[in-house]
Structure 1
Amino acid sequence: MSTLGSFIWSIADQLRGPYRPNQYGNVILPLTILRRLDYILEPDRELVRALAAKYDNPNRLKIEVKKATGRPFYNTSNYSFANLLADADGLADNLADYIDRFSPDVDVFQYFDFKKEILALEKAELLREVITSFKAVNLHPDVVSNADMGDAFEYIIRKFNEAANETSGDHYTPRDAIRLLVDLLFAERDAELTEADIVRSLYDPTAGTGGMLALAEEHLLAQNPGAKLRLYGQEYNPQSYAICKSDLLAKGHDTTNIAFGNTLTDPAFKDRKFDFCMSNPPYGVDWKQYAKAVTKERDEAGPYGRFAPGLPATSDGQMLFLLHLVHKMRAPEDGGGRAGIVMNGSPLFNGAAESGPSNIRKWLLEHDLVDAIVALPTNMFFNTGIATYIWILDNTKHPDRKGLVQLIDGTSFWTKMRKNLGAKNRELSEENRAKVVQLYADFTDGDPDYSKVLRNDEFGYWTITVERPLLDESGNPVVDRKGKPKPDTKKRDTENVPFTYGGSTAGAAGKIEVIQAYFDVEVKPHVPDAWIDWTKVKTGYEIPFTRHFYKYVPPRPLAEIDADLEKQVAKILDLLREVEQ
């Protein structure tokens, strides 16, 4: 738990009465951001005010402030937490003036609609009390690191969403999961990332509060303090967007690279590709309301559009974000790109052959874009205990990894948390993460309990339709005008034939031979009159992750089971005798 976050949230007790618990965040979050920025701005206030008096043009003023202070943002108000409380009658107006006089790129308070909250606090006679409390909170960067500040924000959001009975996990990802994703994302490029003065770009289309962007930068700078990671992101939740942007403002980033809006219907940075992409999209979220726009884009963009490979069911849009990431990776001829995405289990196997999800998997595997998939422990996320997976994508794989996919079972690499956070009671320690990263680096089947390396075509299969003849009242086959037997639709069946059946390594090219061999061995001996309708053969792809790591556990001997039952029966009889006495 974030101690700082808990302390800040305790200030919300002052709001009881006029505010309901699910409204506390509307006040607490923007004031936390304002107090943080207030500390950052404090040393140069007089200098900035002097520059503002000299330069009327906001763009010119921004350039001069950046030259003088090194910061990309400013505030020209005569007010701050140092003097806001001095004018008791003008507190609301002065606080509104303070917010209004931030540089144009600091739009975070507009997304909180905070001026409305100022009036509400004033009306409830709470404004002075709340500002007094926040003035006492020391959020100076020398006292509270960016990482601690991020933890505090996440704690506050979780508390806010719990009070509102909403899903906190929609807005941020646990930091231990992010760190593993970042470790894996950068693993193949570690050598180049240590080069002097390198500049790389990182993009998160579901940025949330910016946790992924922040930890990715932290990871890179730990390896190479001279490196520069240009951060880009898009977020559709107003509060999360405001927090993400303010966090990057505090770190000196160009916040014009953080866009507000829906990535699926109005993607930012349309003409830009990135060295690294990462995302934790919402799971199982209905996208029917966007279906018309997404389908229109797919139809108009043609074979090179981001949704060209296929569309998932409208009940779950996470694979749309998967396709979006692939579309945003830097092209191989420009150096290539890598992407990491956290998803639940359904994208591994949902959808029958030639359905949207199956076609997406087919396209990814046939284009050799899937590098590795890692199964995470359950109970890793704040709002769900379901199985989750990290997919790593790469369009310029290392020669040793070309044509192959590594599956890593990391479900047993976890550490029990001292205190649960929602559904999260497990975390990935540094040692746990190191084990997974080492398995990835080793890239072998040498530890079959945890790592499997498979050819792309090993995930392919054909769905064949097996027909049997329709019989007349006399038991004779009914034939059509060409003398061919008519199929009995009630006896129609389908079979899935793996590309690898019979040890075949021909992949899709072995279609006729493999299907016929399967039919001759698995079907014909049982139903001699059956045949294959070759016009209905469909190609599908699935990634049966659990099946590859299945461990057969033989049942206990009957004698052992009988002995246990006898012990239980004896206990029950003893209890009954006690009751009778």
Structure 2
Amino acid sequence: MPFNEQDLIGRVYEYFLRIYAAAGTKEDGEFYTPASAVKLISELIEPYSGTVYDPCCGSGGMFVQSMKFVEQHNGNKKEISVLGQEKNPSTWRLCKMNLAVRGISSNLGEKADSTFTNDLHKDKKVDYIMANPPFNLKNWRGKDELKDDPRFQGYGEGVIPPVSNANYAWITHIISKLDVNHGVAGFLLSNGALNADGDEYEIRKSIIEKDLVEAIIVLPRDMFYTTDISVTLWIINMNKKAGNSKNGQLLKDRSQKTLFIDLRNWNSNIEVTNIDKGRKKKKVALTDNQIKKVKSIYDNWRIEGNLYEDIPELCKSATLEDIKNSDYNLAPSQYIEFVDHDLTIDYVSKMNELQKSIGKVLSDERETELKVERAFENLGYIIK
């Protein structure tokens, strides 16, 4: 089948996946990640060649976008292999179909199953991970189940992600899958993971001290069909040392540094999805130009050339010491400079204007009182 026909079928299939996600329940929407969020991830982690893995692959949007990235940057799709797993049988079949209509070969395991309780790609190491795990998943394991699993070890004595929330189970699983020399991951999580306490705090502290967090990017609110909250894109890099990227760029040493970006104000671009019977769903989407701007900030920060600079209310390069001093809190608002716009107000002139307004009101009020008094006096005179 010629590629243009495959692409047309794939686009139609993706369109109906989006309609289904927009019209369905919270659970229906979990398999679909907004296209602009997926594109942002692929632009930042640059999956030019190697194995791309998604431990909760849903309908396969991450894999599709990684192939689009390779095509748009004149790469060779044959140099990319796809590895994934999905728990929901129906979604697993949707993913297989989505990849098949696009001519993308993949290994999704022999069946649908839980990544946590039955890792179908055990002991595999990969070059890239792109993922949008279910936010704040509860009861992802039994009380004592998986407590000795090596994926969740090494983050403090007796420390393991809590049963009540799988956010850090996803993070530690992802880290366990990355090639220790050059693996890079881009994944989405709810903002609560940035400053969670208890065992999650201990795991986050360990990850930070191991110098694995390359970037934290807070996205605008209301991008996802499953929730209207703002979520965070994490970039984990197993090697932040200086060297050459896969596209030949000279990378600077980013050891003990983390880039923070806050995009919560980038919410003016609204994408409308027509569902049925005249119903529409509106969601925020990043534009291609906005994605390019984030990519430019990220590249200027990591590529040799000293082009990067902190921008108030947008981005900040923080050191490990900065993060330690903020008690290992990864919320960008802890580091990015906030501009107090009230400081630009000319308070003297504003106070003068306010005093004039108050004076006029008081003057008008006194004049009204005098009129009333005169009216009563006149009334009293007539009564006499």
Normalised TM-score (structure 2)? 0.76
**Alpha-carbon distance in structure 1 between the residues aligned to 2:334 and 2:7:** 50
Q: From the superposition, tell whether residues 423 and 287 of structure 1 become closer, same or farther in structure 2 (CA, over 3 Å).
A: farther
Q: From the superposition, tell whether residues 374 and 146 of structure 1 become closer, same or farther in structure 2 (CA, over 3 Å).
A: same
SS in 2 for 1:271: coil
**Alpha-carbon distance in structure 1 between the residues aligned to 2:161 and 2:152:** 13
Q: From the superposition, tell whether residues 143 and 277 of structure 1 become closer, same or farther in structure 2 (CA, over 3 Å).
A: closer
Q: From the superposition, tell whether residues 182 and 270 of structure 1 become closer, same or farther in structure 2 (CA, over 3 Å).
A: same
SS in 2 for 1:425: strand
SS in 1 for 2:147: helix
- Match of 1:177? 37
Q: Percent identity?
A: 23
Does 1:455 find its partner at 2:319? Answer: yes
Report the alpha carbon displacement of residue 322 of structure 1 after superposing the two structures with TM. 1.0
Deviations 1:416-452 (A, max 9, x none): 2253678752111100101111111111334233221
SS in 2 for 1:235: coil
Structure 2 letter corresponding to 1:284: N
- Match of 2:58? 208
**Alpha-carbon distance in structure 1 between the residues aligned to 2:160 and 2:121:** 22
- Aligned counterpart in structure 1 of residue 335 of structure 2, from 548, 565, 571: 548
**Alpha-carbon distance in structure 2 between the residues aligned to 1:288 and 1:272:** 22
- Match of 1:433? 291
Does 1:250 find its partner at 2:108? Answer: no
Report the alpha carbon displacement of residue 360 of structure 1 after superposing the two structures with TM. 1.5
Report the alpha carbon displacement of residue 263 of structure 1 after superposing the two structures with TM. 0.8
**Alpha-carbon distance in structure 2 between the residues aligned to 1:345 and 1:423:** 23
Q: Contact (CA 8 Å) 1:374, 1:390: kept in 2 or not?
A: yes
Q: From the superposition, tell whether residues 551 and 287 of structure 1 become closer, same or farther in structure 2 (CA, over 3 Å).
A: farther
Does 1:416 find its partner at 2:269? Answer: yes
The answer to which structure has the higher helix fraction is 1
SS in 1 for 2:50: strand
**Alpha-carbon distance in structure 1 between the residues aligned to 2:199 and 2:6:** 51
Q: From the superposition, tell whether residues 231 and 561 of structure 1 become closer, same or farther in structure 2 (CA, over 3 Å).
A: farther
Deviations 1:125-177 (A, max 9, x none): xxxxxxxxxxxxxxx94683313322222323443x2xxx4433311110111
Q: Which structure's CA Rg is the greater one?
A: 1
Structure 1 letter corresponding to 2:44: L
Matches within 5 A, 1:243-322: 243-258=94-109, 259-287=111-139, 289-297=141-149, 301=150, 305-309=151-155, 310-322=159-171
Q: Contact (CA 8 Å) 1:288, 1:314: kept in 2 or not?
A: yes
Structure 1 letter corresponding to 2:340: Y
Q: Contact (CA 8 Å) 1:265, 1:290: kept in 2 or not?
A: no
**Alpha-carbon distance in structure 2 between the residues aligned to 1:427 and 1:377:** 8
Does 1:223 find its partner at 2:73? Answer: yes
Structure 1 letter corresponding to 2:89: P
Residue segments in structure 2 that go unaligned for 5+ positions in a row: 243-252, 275-279, 302-307, 365-384
**Alpha-carbon distance in structure 2 between the residues aligned to 1:561 and 1:343:** 47
Report the alpha carbon displacement of residue 383 of structure 1 after superposing the two structures with TM. 2.4
**Alpha-carbon distance in structure 1 between the residues aligned to 2:70 and 2:187:** 18
Q: From the superposition, tell whether residues 166 and 386 of structure 1 become closer, same or farther in structure 2 (CA, over 3 Å).
A: closer
Q: What is the RMSD computed on CA atoms of the aligned residues?
A: 2.9
Matches within 5 A, 1:392-411: 392-399=235-242, 400-411=253-264
Q: From the superposition, tell whether residues 543 and 209 of structure 1 become closer, same or farther in structure 2 (CA, over 3 Å).
A: same
SS in 2 for 1:203: strand
- Match of 1:328? 177
Q: Contact (CA 8 Å) 1:382, 1:424: kept in 2 or not?
A: no
SS in 2 for 1:554: helix
Does 1:344 find its partner at 2:190? Answer: yes
SS in 1 for 2:82: strand
Equivalent pairs counted in the alignment come to: 327
**Alpha-carbon distance in structure 2 between the residues aligned to 1:428 and 1:314:** 34
Q: From the superposition, tell whether residues 545 and 247 of structure 1 become closer, same or farther in structure 2 (CA, over 3 Å).
A: same
Q: From the superposition, tell whether residues 291 and 217 of structure 1 become closer, same or farther in structure 2 (CA, over 3 Å).
A: farther
Normalised TM-score (structure 1)? 0.52
Q: From the superposition, tell whether residues 156 and 364 of structure 1 become closer, same or farther in structure 2 (CA, over 3 Å).
A: same
Q: From the superposition, tell whether residues 292 and 170 of structure 1 become closer, same or farther in structure 2 (CA, over 3 Å).
A: farther
Deviations 1:356-397 (A, max 9, x none): 111111121111111111111111111222121111011112
Structure 1 letter corresponding to 2:113: G
Q: Contact (CA 8 Å) 2:84, 2:107: kept in 1 or not?
A: no
SS in 1 for 2:269: strand
- Match of 1:156? 20
**Alpha-carbon distance in structure 1 between the residues aligned to 2:153 and 2:229:** 27
